[in-house]
Amino acid sequence: MLTLIIAGEAIFLLPFILMRVFKPIIRDVFVISDAEIGEAQALYGLTAVISYFPGGFLADKWQARKLLTLSLILTAFGGFWMTMIPSINSLKILYGFWGVSTILLFWASLIKATRQWGNKNNQGLSFGLLDGGRGFFAASIALFGASILTYFFPKNALEISQETKIETLQYIIGAITCIVFLIAFLVWKFLPKDDVKNLNTEAKFNFKKAFSLLKQKKIIYHSLIIFCAYCAYKLTGVYGTYAKDVWNFSLQEATYFAVFIQFLRPLSAISIGYVADKFLPSKILIPSFILLIFCSLLLGSGVFKNQIIAFSFTSFILMAFGTYALRGLYFAIIEETNTPLQFTGTLVGIISVVGFTPDIFMSLFNGYMLGENPTINEYENLFLTFTIIPIIGLIAALGFRKSIQNE
C-alpha cells in the first residue's frame, strides 16, 4: 500500500502539483497568463479523458507493476523537457503528452489495486489512506521545492532578477523529475509481480457485462459525484494566487500558503475515510458537498472585501477540508455499487471519462474568469459561479444513495 501511495502521487507531481504550488513563479518564468496555463492543462485533460476508457481495460488485463513503472518513466522524461523552459506552445504539447503518460497505463490500475488491498468494510479507510498518503507525499515534495525557492531568493529583496527565477524553477523541476524516476525504480522493485493477476480470480472478464455498466443509474451518479468533487480540487490551484493577488503575499509567502493547503489533504482524507467506514462513504459525501456550497458562497459574496485576512483564510481551510474529504471518498463508494472486482478497472475507466473532464475546462475556466491581473472582484465572481458545481454534486450524492437503496 505504501508503494501505491507514493506512486499514486509521484505520477502527478509534474503535471499538477508543480503548477498548483509554484504557479506564481511559473507565471513569471514562462511569461504566461492564467488563461494560457488553462489552455495547456486543457490539452492534458483532453488526452487524459481519451485515455481513461482504454486504460480501464488495460488495468483488467495487465500487471500493475509493469503499467505503473512505464507510466512513471515516461512522465519523468517530460520533466526533463520542462527544465529547458520551452516555449508556450511546447509547454502545451508537453501537457498533452502527460495526459497520456499519467492516465493510460496508470490510473485504473492504481484504483483497482487499492480496492483489492482493502476489504469490503474498510473501503473508506483504504481510499482515505491512498489519497491522504498521496497528499502528505505531495505536500512534503512541495515543501522541499519551496525550500529551494527560499534558498535562491534573497531575504527581503525588493527585486528578484528573471535569471534567478529561471534558475530556481529549473532546480525545482529537475529535483521533482529525479524523484519521479527514483519512484519508478521502487515500484518495479517492490510491487509484487502478481499484483493484478490475482485480481481476476473471481470470474472471467466479459466485455458485454462491462459495457452494461454504462446503463446503470448509480454509475451515472457516481460519475457526476467525481466530476463535481474534481472541479473543487482543480479550484485549489487558485488558492496560492489568491494569496498573492488579494492578500498581497510575496512569491515565497504565497507558495508556503499553497503548501500549507496541501498538508490539509492527508488530515481530511484519512480522518473522513475512517469516519465513513463507521457509517457509509456515500453518506459522508452529503455534508462534504454542503460545506463546499457554504464556503464558496462566502468567498463569492463579497463579505470579506473589507475584512481581515483571517476570515477568508478560515474559509479556504474549510473549503480545502471538504474538497479533500470528497477525494478520499469518491472511489470508496465503488464497493457500495456491488461491482465485481474483475470489472473494477473497466468501471474506473467509465466513470473517469465523465468524472475527470474538469481537466479539460476547469483551468481554462479559472484562467478566463481571473484574467490578466485579477483583483478580489474577479476572485469573487469565480467562487460565486463555482457554487453551482457543489450544488450539482449534492444532488448527485442524494441520487446515488437512492439508486443503491432501490437495488
pLDDT band at 101 (very low <50, low <70, confident <90, very high): very high
| Domain segments of the chain as ranges | 2-405
Is 145 or 82 the better-scoring residue by pLDDT?
Answer: 82
What secondary structure letter does DSSP report for 38?
A: H
What secondary structure letter does DSSP report for 17?
A: I
CATH of 2-405, one of 1.20.1250.20, 3.30.420.40, 1.10.1060.10, 3.40.50.300: 1.20.1250.20
Tens digit of pLDDT for each residue in 327-369? 888 888 888 888 776 677 777 888 888 888 888 888 888 888 9
Task: Write down the mean pLDDT value for the chain.
Answer: 83
Q: Which amino acid is at 35?
A: A
pLDDT of residue 201: 47
Tens digit of pLDDT for each residue in 273-313? 788 778 888 899 999 999 999 999 999 988 777 667 888 88
d(CA 9, CA 5): 7
pLDDT band at 82 (very low <50, low <70, confident <90, very high): very high
Collect all residues with Cβ–Cβ distance below 8 Å to 154 and sequence separation of at least 6: 160
Is 384 or 108 the better-scoring residue by pLDDT?
Answer: 384
Grid cell at residue 207: 466485455
Q: Is pLDDT of 28 > 90?
A: no
186 CA to centre of own chain? 22
Alpha carbon separation from 363 to 4, 138, 230, 231, 247 (Å, rounded)? 27, 20, 12, 9, 22
pTM of the model: 0.75
Q: Is pLDDT of 199 > 50?
A: no
Grid cell at residue 330: 469518491
